[in-house]
Amino acid sequence: MNRIRSLVLTVAALMIASALPLLGGAPPAAASDNGLSVRPAMGWSSWSFVRRTPTEAKMRAQADAMVSSGLKNHGFVYVNLDDFWQKCDANGFVVDSYGRWTVDAAKFPSGMKALADYIHSKGLKFGFYVTPGIAKNAVTANTPIEGTPYHAQDIADTSKTEKNYNCKNMYYIDYGKPGAQEFVNSWARQFASWGVDYLKIDGVGSQDIPDVQAWDKALRASGRPINFALSNNLPIADAATWRQLSNSWRTQGDVECYCGPGENGSGYPLTDWSHVSARFNSAASWQPYAGPGGWNDLDSLEIGNGDQVGLTADQRRSHFTLWAMAAAPLLLGTDLTKLDPVDKAMLTNDRLIGVDQDGVAAKRIVNSGVQQVWSKRESSGAYVVALFNTGTSGNSTVGVNWSQVGFTGSGDVTDLWSGSHKGEIADSYSATLRPGETRLIRVKPVAERTNP
pLDDT tens, 170-205?
Answer: 999 999 999 999 999 999 999 999 999 999 999 999
Domain count, the chain: 2
Q: Yes or no: say if 436 and 312 are a contact pair by the CB < 8 Å rule.
A: yes
Specify whether 395 is located in the same domain as 338. Answer: no
The reply to whether 373 and 345 lie within a common domain is: no
How buried is 23 (Cβ within 10 angstroms: 0-12 exposed, 13-18 middle, 19+ buried)? buried
Asked if 418 and 402 sit in the same domain, the reply is: yes
Q: Is the pLDDT of residue 17 over 60?
A: no
Spatial separation of the C-alpha atoms in residues 95 and 177, rounded to whole Å: 21
Domain-ending residue, one of 361, 377, 407: 361
pLDDT of residue 239: 97
- 202 given a catalytic annotation: yes
Residues 392 and 309 in one domain: no
Q: Are 355 and 336 members of one domain?
A: yes
What confidence score (pLDDT) does residue 116 get? 98
Ranges assigned E (strand) in 183-286? 198-201, 227-230, 248-250
Query: What is the Cα–Cα distance from 217 to 285, expressed in whole angstroms?
Result: 29
Mean pLDDT across the stretch 149-159? 98
Same domain, 153 and 100: yes
The domain spanning residue 426 has which CATH number? 2.60.40.1180
Confidence category of residue 29, pLDDT binned at 50, 70, 90: low
Residues 331 and 393 in one domain: no
Annotated active-site residue in 154, 202, 211, 343:
202
Q: Of 309, 335, 361, which marks where a domain is finished?
A: 361
Does 338 lie in the same domain as 222?
A: yes
Q: Which of 64, 254, 272, 314 is catalytic?
A: 254
Proportion of the chain above pLDDT 70, given as a percent = 92
Give yes or no for residue 314 having a pLDDT over 60.
yes
Cα–Cα distance measured from residue 285 to residue 448, given in angstroms and rounded to the nearest whole number: 30
In 309-437, where do the E strands start and end? 330-332, 363-368, 371-377, 383-389, 396-401, 410-415, 421-426, 428-433
Is there a domain that residue 451 lies in? no
Domain check: are 320 and 378 in the same one?
A: no
> Can 254 be counted among the known catalytic residues?
yes
Cα gap 389→430, rounded to integer Å: 12
239 and 94 in a common domain: yes
Residue 9 to residue 34: CA distance in whole angstroms: 9
Give the domain range for residue 55. Answer: 2-361
Please provide residue 430's backbone torsions phi and psi, each rounded to the nearest 5 degrees: -145, 160
189 with 70, same domain: the answer is: yes
Question: What pLDDT was estimated at residue 4?
Answer: 38
Residue at 450 is within a domain = no
CATH number at residue 11: 3.20.20.70
Residues 309 and 375 in one domain: no
Residue 297 clears pLDDT 80, i.e. is over it: yes
Q: Is residue 426 part of a domain?
A: yes
Last residue of a domain, one of 337, 361, 385: 361
pLDDT at 221: 97
